[in-house]
Structure 1
Amino acid sequence: MDFIIQMEPSYDHNEKNALNEYMESGGWLMEFKKTRELESMIADYTGAKYCSIMPNGTVSLSVALIACGIGVGDEVIVPDYTMVATPNAVELIGAKAVFVDIDRDTLCMDYDAMVNAVTEKTKAVFFVSINGRCPKDIDKYVEFCKSRGIHFLEDAAQSLGSFCNGKHLGRFGEIGSFSFSVPKIITTGQGGALITDDEELYNKIVKIRDFGRDKGGSDHYLTKGWNFKFTDVQAVIGIEQMKKLHSRVMRKKEMGKLYEKLLSGITGVELIPTDLEETSPWFYDILADDREKLLEFLKDNGIGSRIFYPPLHAEPAYGYEGHYPITEEISKKGLWLPSAITLTDEQITYVCGKIREYYN
């Protein structure tokens, strides 16, 4: 069997033909009608009233904070276990990222840890629905923040196609953010999107991402803004990717069920509880004893895998004091298995067979 890569993008003649048609049409490449079309597709799919697309997910997170009036000297609570873009987006605008531990079952931000981290400087919480998961009591987080006048925002970068209690992730907060980088369920190479039901916040977002001007092509600036615009070239690809989203969500769930079936009962492997009726997994993740040796064993057998994010508070980029026991534990044991949408049942069966062989 050929080497099974841990993750790769998927595109076909539909994207290629659409790009060719766009170029033949004389499109100017810059953001225009195709970008607006993609934004409408995302809003319709998620059920949000508004969507605005950015160059990448990190930028979209920062823009969400700026739209909420957050800046220098403010604190934003983030989980210690997340992709580094979450705290980086906070500190990019001069605010301070305050790390908290995660819940052992969902790997999402722990509620009590969040509550205990609030100070008079806390202006927002960035809730990360890691790997498309979300606690069923997420409304508890929302209500607490609302009662304290704290903005509840969602980093749903890994969660397009995932729901909680029947509601698409990214819609529980005032603003939700998605990413379209290469490993995501749909990709435009790079890209991010903000969704919201709040018209006032949406109007702020639109201005911030386009130099702060009152309308496109104008040289009248109502607020400070930057060039965070997209391109129609990327949007053309994104539109074709969105057409495949439903089938990809269904396939991701099928793959998750097969992984669960074939990995169950292996001593040394812990499966993370996942509601595959609502969650479309980004990566297929396990907690593994002897993780480093397992990783090498898999590699020797033609299988790519990837270790979990580290505890971010202790990374050289931050170097913050603190003890986050759940994050520290799962970061030492966590392993992402092959997760590309192109993965076949035969390949999944081979991967699981090798894991079982290693532990037996």
Structure 2
Amino acid sequence: MKKMITGAEPYFFKQENNILKKIKQILISGKLAQGPNVKKLEKKISKTFKSKYAIAVNSGGTALEICLEAFSIKGKEIIIPTQTFIASANAVVRAGGIPVFCDIDPTTGCIDIDDAKKKINKKTAGIIFVYMFGIVPKSVITLKEICKKKNIFLLEDAAHGHGGSVGKYNVGSIGDAACFSFYATKILTGGEGGIITTNNLNIKKKCSSLMNHGRSPHNPLFIYSGNNFRLTEIQAVIILSQLRYLKKTLLHRNKIAKIYQKYLNNSLFYTKVVLDKRCKNTFWRYPLYLSKQISRSSLQTLCAKKHNFRVTWMYEPLCHQQPVFKKNIKLPKAEKLIKRLINLPTHFLVKPSDAIQICKNINLVCSNLYAKNKNI
């Protein structure tokens, strides 16, 4: 029986033995933390994402928290899209800020720029831009200009955006800082881990201190109330191995996305996000909105049972609807679209022939479900 195609799965380009050899060397050396591999990763990430500095940490969530604390947001408002993983909002709270939830742009799945502009006030310290599902729209450049004009910071939540770009701008160097995740399902993975990129030396210095218990880089004194947010040498080795294949990974993900874009074209069944040719998307997953006439749960069940691939969706309920926040506000675009959102896999274990077959099967299942609902 053919293996189930999952929503996300890591791939190591047949480098498992080389990774294991390097891990063995680390174990023999006894240098498991704060060693040469973490430093090497920081240098290579800076070069790849075109930022002056990079600070490796133990998760994407802590990267956001450390970065926001470095921006001194205590008591201030941070505008974030409601359609994002809860870590984005939690990081604001843990850094002492107040999350202000914003609607999304249906054409990109990213933050609605007009709604964000309306919510900027004297209490606003910054805006977080999330590259949802690896869609990298030109609106991030518009937001960059707005933030500069309003004298507030722009923080890129690039958990899905490794290697993306907008024209001459690389994800990771567009905002005042950016945060990446290396969680098990991400485009680059170390199982866990994260990294902060910035061109701001002061932010770099503060983040480097906060992730190491708040210690001064010059002496054994502690200048901030930080914690241990360090990345290990073993995680760094795994991420470094994957970083070598980032270009190949993104070519593959874009190839799979292009197949979905070509064959999933029935407007009765689907609404697609709008892709700008000037932007290099990373396609952590391929997002699609289903017709109201098609049962999402039925589609998921049938695709898994009959056709052996997973249709997924996530981030529901939205952040402003979660019990920890439960804001009495209406964000109509996000609330409408989250009920119709599905994601298709783009990872390296999805072959082009698999993607074509996925399209054929989804089209067939959607056709049957649409006809069934139409006749009720």
Give the structure-2-normalised TM-score: 0.91
Q: d(CA) in 1 for partners of 2:141 and 2:324?
A: 32
C-alpha separation in 2, matches of 1:266 and 1:356? 11
Measured after TM superposition, the shift of residue 324 of structure 1 is 0.8
- Residue matched to 1:270: 271
CA distance in 2, matches of 1:231, 1:308: 29
- Runs of 4 or more, structure 1, over 4 Å off, are none
Q: What SS does the corresponding residue of 1:332 show, helix, strand or coil?
A: coil
Count of residues in correspondence between the two structures: 358
- The equivalences for 1:1-360 within 5 A come to 1-24=2-25, 25-71=28-74, 73-215=75-217, 218-265=219-266, 267-275=268-276, 278-289=280-291, 290=294, 291-301=296-306, 302-310=308-316, 311-360=318-367
Unaligned runs of 5+ in 1: none
Q: Deviations over 1:259-284 (max 9, x none)?
A: 11121235211221224661121101
Letter of the 1:241 partner, please give it: Q
Q: Can you list the C-alpha shifts for 1:52-101, whole angstroms capped at 9, x where unaligned?
A: 11100010001111111112x22111001111111011112232111010
Amino acid of the structure 1 residue aligned with 2:35: F
One-letter code aligned to 2:228: N
CA distance, structure 1, for counterparts of residue 202 and residue 325 of structure 2: 34
Structure 2 counterpart of 1:297, which letter?
L
CA apart distance, 1:352: 0.9
CA distance in structure 1 between the aligned counterparts of 2:9 and 2:363, rounded to whole angstroms: 25
Q: Which moved more, 1:43-52 or 1:89-98?
A: 89-98
Contact kept? 1:166, 1:278, Cα under 8 Å: no
CA distance in structure 2 between the aligned counterparts of 1:113 and 1:87, rounded to whole angstroms: 17
| Structure 1 position 255, deviation (Å) | 0.8
Q: Give the drift of 1:13.
A: 4.3
Separation in structure 1 between the aligned mates of residue 149 and residue 340 of structure 2, nearest angstrom:
37
RMSD after superposition:
1.7
1:358 is aligned with what amino acid?
A: V
SS at the partner of 1:280?
coil
- Paired residue secondary structure (1:306): coil
CA drift of 1:12 comes to 4.9
* In structure 1, distance between residues paired with 2:137 and 2:350: 28
For 1:210 and 1:128, how far apart are their aligned partners in 2?
Answer: 26
Distance (whole Å) between structure 2 residues aligned to residue 352 and residue 13 of structure 1: 28
Cα drift, residue 105 of structure 1: 0.8
Decide whether the 8 Å contact of 1:129 with 1:169 is kept in 2.
no
Equivalents in 2 of 1:224, 1:2: separation in Å? 48
Matches of 1:162 and 1:142, distance apart in 2: 16
Distance in 1, Cα, partners of 2:168 & 2:259: 23
**TM-score, normalization: structure 1?**
0.95
Which shifted more, 39-48 or 133-142?
Answer: 133-142
Amino acid at match of 1:306: T
For 2:22 and 2:5, the matched residues in 1 are separated by: 33
Q: Secondary structure at the match of 2:179?
A: strand
Identity %: 27
Unaligned runs of 5+ residues in structure 2 are: 368-376
Secondary structure of the 1:194 match is strand
Residues 67 and 196 of structure 2 are in contact (CA less than 8 Å); yes or no, is this contact kept in structure 1? Answer: yes
